[in-house]
Structure 1
Amino acid sequence: MQIVYLFSSVLLTAALAHENGKVAYPFRLFNGTSSVEEISQQDQMDAPKIMPHVNATTFEWWYFDAVSTTSQNESLTVMFENMGPEGLGAPYPGGPLAVQISGSFSNGTAFTIITAATKGAVLEWGGGGVRGEWRGAGSSFAGKDHREYTVSIANPGIGVYGTMTLRSVSPPRYPCDVKERRASEQLIPNMYLANSQPDAIVEVDFNINESTLKFSGIGYHDLSWGSAPLESSVHSWYWGHGRLGRYSLVWFDVMGRDGKEYFSAWITEAGNVILCGCEPDSVLVRPWGENSGFPPGRGTPAPSGYSLRYDLGQNQIFIANFTREVNIIDNDFTKHIIGLFSGGFEGGEQYEGRAMADQFQFGDL
């Protein structure tokens, strides 16, 4: 299906030209051409990026996660999805709007719950703030100035109630730039990113089918979207975030279907940016231990962990190591995992912390 991009779409430019906006999405696909934003707009980091609505091959999701630093195994991820059936390759609930809730309890037991927003979704944005409500799913999120977000769920049909609150400790960014007007939002061809919270202090207080999930830890929030099915753009993908002492880290290392390797590196020290870029090998991620073939193909089990090498230039190298502990989502195409995190500058003080990581693997072995 043909996609018309931002610069050739007068309608999309007009729709997103104002700082304040509101859109209501129905629980059905758009049967036509969808327009996709590629260049950032002022104070619209969390605004919808696909207009007038997703069709069968496009997608966007508002993603929030939390990893406990007060217990070993606890985590929570909430994704507000707006997707065509071919967009993400995820379970399709009969319409484009769904909320996926996944996580793990202190005993290491993982769960995934998907609920459809059959009554549609409403998004409002302006002045750096945003509010989204997925109606029929009992789920919403709200944020202000990219500094604090709250995710709320009250859905008796799936037995999930609670709130997640995230307070930023690392400034917002795009794949290759800090937050600014008219920055490129492209992560890889046909895939885009706006990362409002690369790192956050998070508080989680949830009840999942009468089991308590309550902890403090590190959090993360972004908005991702695509102009073509994810599987058609990505062969394999390593992503993650973590905190080591005063350092906040995010990594993307993606092998595209075009055979090229794409990178997006981010490190802040006490909230100050010391690395932001997409240069080759700015962050090199490789699996280690069991199942450490590169690149991974569909059906490959999760590796023991990942080694990360950030190149800040001028002979400054930051080395980090992720050790897998809990598989939250584990299927032929997706690994969503939490684990131990350690590292620091070569020759400098070393730190320990926690991290969340994803591995996508759509290519054949």
Structure 2
Amino acid sequence: MYIHTFSLLLIVVQDGDSKANFDIRTPTLLLDIETLFSLDAPQTDSINGSVFDWWYFDAVSETNSGDSLVITFFASSVAAFPFLNANETSVTTAYVWASFANGTVFAGSVPATFATVAGVDGGTNSSGEWHSAGFNWAALTDNLSKYEVVIVSESLQVKGRLTLTSASIKYNT
């Protein structure tokens, strides 16, 4: 099993090179569970001015396609991902976008003091927390077929829970 734990203890862009992981094992047409675990892991070792890493969760209502939600956990500078808030200096920022069928749209972001992403360390499934932002996620099942994202953000005045369940998951065990 892979062991992935990553913390951004600094909230500013780091000087120097960043090593990115482009080697995702795909030994067969169906992804095995270890490959799925590796996809949830951080893919960069530090955040400089030209790289980013992100984890995002999105959903559209089954009963009304006009209702949708996107929650994104960024580890990025504005230079590396120019759609981020230009005034934000933290490299760990959580975003939420919600659109409703009645035309209402909500968007907000919160910087974190630091972020932790972990998974597969003797039983810990994929999880992430953007500390002080009030945003976190966790895989609820060993095969990563169910996730939960929780927002309790005082600064955005947003509180909620999104549970995502895979309609079908295919992988080799």
1:132 aligns with 2:106: no
Between the aligned partners of 2:131 and 2:137, the Cα distance in structure 1 is 12
Counterpart contact for 2:118–2:124, Cα < 8 Å:
no
Change (3 A) 1:128 1:154: closer
1:141 aligns with 2:137: yes
Between the aligned partners of 2:65 and 2:89, the Cα distance in structure 1 is 36
* Partner residue of 2:57 out of 55, 58, 64: 64
Q: Deviations over 1:85-134 (max 9, x none)?
A: 211112242111111100112312112111111x1001111168211000
Runs of 4 or more consecutive aligned structure 1 residues displaced over 2 Å after TM superposition? none
Q: Which residue of 1 aligns with 2:165?
A: 167
Between the aligned partners of 1:22 and 1:73, the Cα distance in structure 2 is 37
Within a 5 Å distance, the mapping from 1:143-292 to structure 2 comes to: 143=139, 144=141, 145-171=143-169
Between the aligned partners of 1:171 and 1:87, the Cα distance in structure 2 is 32
Three-state SS of the structure 2 residue aligned to 1:44 is helix
Counterpart contact for 1:45–1:128, Cα < 8 Å:
no
Change (3 A) 1:72 1:47: closer
Change (3 A) 1:167 1:128: farther
Between the aligned partners of 2:124 and 2:22, the Cα distance in structure 1 is 19
Tell me which amino acid in the other structure corresponds to 2:75: N
* Partner residue of 2:70 out of 55, 72, 77: 77
Unaligned runs of 5+ in 1: 1-17, 173-178, 181-365
Counterpart contact for 2:125–2:144, Cα < 8 Å:
yes
* Partner residue of 1:89 out of 47, 64, 82: 82
Counterpart contact for 1:44–1:128, Cα < 8 Å:
no
Please say which structure displays the higher CA radius of gyration. 1
Between the aligned partners of 1:134 and 1:32, the Cα distance in structure 2 is 24
Task: Give TM-score scaled by structure 1 length.
Answer: 0.40
Between the aligned partners of 2:44 and 2:168, the Cα distance in structure 1 is 27
Root mean square deviation, CA, Å: 1.9
Q: Which residue of 2 aligns with 1:360?
A: none
Between the aligned partners of 1:142 and 1:121, the Cα distance in structure 2 is 14
Q: Which residue of 1 aligns with 2:28?
A: none
Three-state SS of the structure 1 residue aligned to 2:6 is strand
Q: Which residue of 1 aligns with 2:15?
A: 31
Between the aligned partners of 2:47 and 2:104, the Cα distance in structure 1 is 34
Q: Deviations over 1:292-332 (max 9, x none)?
A: xxxxxxxxxxxxxxxxxxxxxxxxxxxxxxxxxxxxxxxxx
1:122 aligns with 2:116: yes
* Partner residue of 1:54 out of 47, 57, 66: 47
Task: Give TM-score scaled by structure 2 length.
Answer: 0.82
Identity of aligned residues (%): 28
Higher relative contact order, chain-length normalized (CA < 8 Å, sep 6+): 2
Tell me which amino acid in the other structure corresponds to 2:119: W
Structure 1 residue 169 displacement after superposition: 1.5
Three-state SS of the structure 2 residue aligned to 1:23 is strand
1:22 aligns with 2:15: no
Greater strand content? 1
Structure 1 residue 66 displacement after superposition: 0.8
Counterpart contact for 1:128–1:146, Cα < 8 Å:
no
Q: Which residue of 2 aligns with 1:260?
A: none
Three-state SS of the structure 1 residue aligned to 2:82 is coil
